[in-house]
Structure 1
Amino acid sequence: MIKIKLEVLNIKGHQMNKCCYKHKLLPNEELIESEESCQFDVEELILVDGKYFCQFHCPVINDQKELTEKGMWNDEKIDRFNDDFFEVIGITDDREFTGEGKVDDFRGVVFPGEIDFSDVQFKAPVDFSNCEFIGESYFTDAVFSDDVIFTYSTFRKSTNFYNCRFDRGLDFLYCMVLESINFQYTNKSDHEDQEERQVIKTINMSDSVFIGDAYFDNREFKGKTDFRRCTFSTAPSFYGCELHQETFFPPFSNFLDTSSSEAFQKYRVLRLSMENVRNRVDEGSFFALEQRSLRLSSGFADKYLSLSFIYEKCSLYGTSVSRPMIILLCFLSFFSFNYYYFFDIEFVEAVEFSIQQVVRPFTSWNSKEAEYLGKIFIISDFFALRLIATLQSLVSLMLIALSILAARWRFKRG
């Protein structure tokens, strides 16, 4: 009987007295399991999907998308979980983490409810990689004296790093933020180390997704700042910030908010910041986002019947060199067909005539050309042909000018 019982508990090679959690690594943007296992020494385990987990690594949702035992904990059990976690990692009564407790590795922890690290002084490196914060998480006024890592963590509720101090690097790669996240610093602070708290030395948030609001107001970014390949569902807030020259933002298409009432102001702040560091590419992108947001937050006429609408569609507000040329080719084909179909001009001659309106605009008004066309067409057709050719020349000149302007703006603005 004992042998049978042990075989039942030894599911998929995971013994009852050991959590089955495996740390995750991120080579080439793909998650794989490393050889490192659970770092917690816990006797009581929780069975989920045929595997045993300690209370810290146990998920709150199983493979069938149903709540686990941990996912149904009440506030009392969640508070007990938080107390157990603080005890295990060795946070003192003075809210200090020295790294000399029982566990100095937080990777993979699933926090089932609200967790409060406010005012904690982290005096050793902190690694929250692959963690999941189910409830609201507070790091307000915390001090990170060494590197802090949140790589591949998920924040399901609002997260607050308000007035935090980051003495070294902050890694926030591949994170998923489903609600708001706040990295603001207040100018009304009475902290003795106000200047140090305002500074973020290096921050890497590449490949993260921000579904809710993201606030970085009043921060001074003194080192490399990386937001490459990030996705922002709402316009990020950088009011009062000083950005470093080595600042990288994602492409235009990764900013999804272009219709809210505050979006154009936030993009304007970023455009001016990029202008200050002479980043012409990102300056152009934020200018386009600013203008699009301003247009889409206005009435119907401004949205679809304005010069701003035409400017966007023709050259993406001066940021696209190729778009005007592509449109020019489309118009060239369109006018060639019109000359061929409505004026009975041979197809090859129609194409040549259409190209002529681009490379030699308004040639239909040339005296020799007009005399030649006047002999072929009757007066009404001749007049209509000259009007259409004039329209093509005007459109072509406008598109060529937009393409030249976009090319110039890539290297020099203002």
Structure 2
Amino acid sequence: MPSIVERFATLPPEVQALFDNTENGMPFNISKSGCLVLVKLGKEAWNAWREIFPVTGMFPHFTNHADFSGLDFRGDPVDFSGYVFGDGADFRGAQWGFGANFKGASWGRFANFSGAQWGDFANLNGAQWGDAGNFSCARWGAFAGFVAAQWGAGACFYGAEWGKGANFQGTNWATSRTIYLDDEHYQSAKAWAEARGLAPDTFLAISFAGAHFAGEADFSNRKFTGKTDFGCLPEGYSRRRVQRDEAGLAKFDGNCELLWENDPEPRRYVMFDAAPKFHGCELHQDTTFDGARFPPASGSDEAARAYRTLKLAFSKQQAHREEQRFFKLEMKEEAKRAGAAKFMYLLYEKSSDFGFNLWRPLALFAVAWIAFAFTYGYYGISTHDLTICGSLDASCKVQWSWLEFSLAQSLPLTGFDKLHSIATLKNNNVPVLVLALHKVISLACLFLAGLALRNLFRLK
């Protein structure tokens, strides 16, 4: 292997000159200030140094890794497209303004963006990360782009936030060619990904636990090949945010550890402010949305289709609970735009939670049984005495026979043998209508209870 001096001699002259200043460190052990100076020399200079003097050491003790922790690029933006950062890159608490460009950039393992912030229209299309990328509590503005972006296993977005629009769509390699700067960049990115089992349409194990998508989140055409979490933050982990000074710069303690404070919003669950899109996706069997919150129904056909897509995806996996979750969300969207049939959707929801609640229809059955018992008593209908009890006054006492007769009318195909006795009443029409109404309500309750049993236990 060439010596350090020999390798140093192959660096571009402007990079060699950078290390004349001892504050910038050494080419084999660059300092934080040296990283900032070098990155401003451009992609060619940075990548040349990175190739000749790679990161050494193991997590968490990397040497010669890129360190941009706490830096503010809002006033002096850098185009990071195509940069190669290597393992252990430290961007904790860093921030960028409008249109930050990381298109086609690549990081190795253990890249740390915890507490970082981006403005609107951040472009990370085609960007690549190795295993264990950390984006916990990071924040993006509106319309962040992650099209064809790739992460190794264990990418963590605990408590991360996105503004109005986050595009994680997957593509194939042929389609993603236009993302990269030139053919050499494209071939290099493809080779890097294939060596690690990555692809522009694939996610390995990834967690968005506790994240907030303030606009449309689009994960269409992605293959989720590892454990995927859109649920709640794990026990012992709370939402937090970076402490910043009046200028907005992140604060660090004497050990260069990022300082945090509790987030005023104690929410632990994932929150979608718009129906997420997963069209054309393949979900891993260990995919969860437990505890996730979705927006109130808007009656949008687009939202209904988004939920239907997730319902069908989980149906293929026999993931019944998740399938039920998205079926109910789909039904709520359909109810909003049902027009004249809206009342039927509302009744379906309230009486049985769209066929997934066993106890509501049984409770309604019991209430109808008692209520109609008193109604039959009012009309003098009983199994033993069909005399009229017109006003339920003191002389008209509650009889057990009312309950017997009401129960008989509640059960399917029973009680009809007593219909001939109705003719003895003064008004034939009212009791017949009452009996018919009771029978319809009871049958509907029993049907909904049976439907709930089938849906909850997947009975055939």
With normalisation by structure 1, the TM-score equals 0.69
Separation in 2, partners of 1:105, 1:336: 73
Q: How far did residue 136 of structure 1 move?
A: 3.0
Aligned partner (choices 347, 357, 370) of residue 409 of structure 2: 357
Aligned partner (choices 342, 352, 373) of residue 303 of structure 1: 342
Contact (CA 8 Å) 1:56, 1:110: kept in 2 or not?
Answer: no
Aligned residue in 1 for 2:64: none
Aligned residue in 1 for 2:251: none
**Bigger relative contact order, structure 1 or 2, given CA contacts below 8 A and separation 6+?**
2
Name the aligned partner's letter for residue 143 of structure 2: S
User: Does 2:135 correspond to 1:150?
Assistant: yes
Separation in 2, partners of 1:409, 1:252: 21
Q: How many residues end up aligned between the 2 structures? A: 327
Aligned residue in 1 for 2:278: 238
Aligned residue in 2 for 1:263: 303
Name the aligned partner's letter for residue 270 of structure 1: L
Aligned partner (choices 105, 108, 116) of residue 93 of structure 2: 108
User: Does 2:184 correspond to 1:184?
Assistant: no
What are the equivalent positions in structure 2 for 1:353-392 lying under 5 Å apart?
Answer: 353-359=405-411, 362-363=414-415, 365-367=416-418, 371=421, 378-380=425-427, 383-392=429-438
What are the equivalent positions in structure 2 for 1:201-220 lying under 5 Å apart?
Answer: 201-220=204-223
Q: How far did residue 362 of structure 1 move?
A: 4.5
Unaligned runs of 5+ in 2: 1-30, 35-67, 178-185, 232-268, 380-389
Instruction: Return closer, same or farther for 1:231/1:331 CA change in 2, 3 Å cut-off.
Output: farther
User: Does 2:81 correspond to 1:78?
Assistant: no
Contact (CA 8 Å) 2:275, 2:294: kept in 1 or not?
Answer: no
Q: How far did residue 172 of structure 1 move?
A: 1.4
Unaligned runs of 5+ in 1: 1-38, 43-54, 59-69, 71-76
Name the aligned partner's letter for residue 205 of structure 1: F
Contact (CA 8 Å) 1:97, 1:124: kept in 2 or not?
Answer: no
User: Does 2:143 correspond to 1:96?
Assistant: no
Aligned residue in 1 for 2:369: 332
Separation in 2, partners of 1:118, 1:387: 71
SS of the residue aligned with 1:366? Answer: helix
Separation in 2, partners of 1:119, 1:257: 37
Contact (CA 8 Å) 2:74, 2:95: kept in 1 or not?
Answer: no
Identity of aligned residues (%): 25
Separation in 2, partners of 1:243, 1:387: 52
Contact (CA 8 Å) 1:107, 1:128: kept in 2 or not?
Answer: yes
Name the aligned partner's letter for residue 136 of structure 1: F
Instruction: Return closer, same or farther for 1:148/1:181 CA change in 2, 3 Å cut-off.
Output: same
Aligned residue in 2 for 1:273: 313
Q: How far did residue 341 of structure 1 move?
A: 5.5
Aligned residue in 2 for 1:160: 145
Aligned partner (choices 316, 320, 333) of residue 353 of structure 2: 316
Contact (CA 8 Å) 1:116, 1:138: kept in 2 or not?
Answer: yes
Aligned residue in 1 for 2:228: 225
Separation in 1, partners of 2:204, 2:342: 41
Aligned residue in 1 for 2:397: 346
Q: How far did residue 145 of structure 1 move?
A: 1.8
Separation in 2, partners of 1:388, 1:147: 67
Contact (CA 8 Å) 1:145, 1:166: kept in 2 or not?
Answer: yes
Please say which of residues 112-121 and 221-230 is displaced more in the overlay. Answer: 112-121
Separation in 2, partners of 1:241, 1:118: 23
Deviation track 1:111-161 (CA, whole Å, cap 9, x = no partner) reads 344422221111231122223334332211111022212212232322111
Name the aligned partner's letter for residue 226 of structure 1: D
Deviation track 1:324-349 (CA, whole Å, cap 9, x = no partner) reads 22333343344345345565363454
Aligned residue in 1 for 2:117: 132
Deviation >6 Å, runs of 4+: 39-42
Q: How far did residue 313 of structure 1 move?
A: 3.1
Aligned residue in 2 for 1:399: 445
Greater Rg by CA: 2
Higher strand fraction (1 or 2) = 1
Separation in 2, partners of 1:130, 1:333: 60
With normalisation by structure 2, the TM-score equals 0.62
Instruction: Return closer, same or farther for 1:181/1:253 CA change in 2, 3 Å cut-off.
Output: closer
- Over the aligned positions, Cα root-mean-square deviation in angstroms equals 3.3
Aligned residue in 2 for 1:120: 105
Instruction: Return closer, same or farther for 1:252/1:223 CA change in 2, 3 Å cut-off.
Output: closer
Separation in 2, partners of 1:122, 1:402: 54
Q: How far did residue 408 of structure 1 move?
A: 1.1
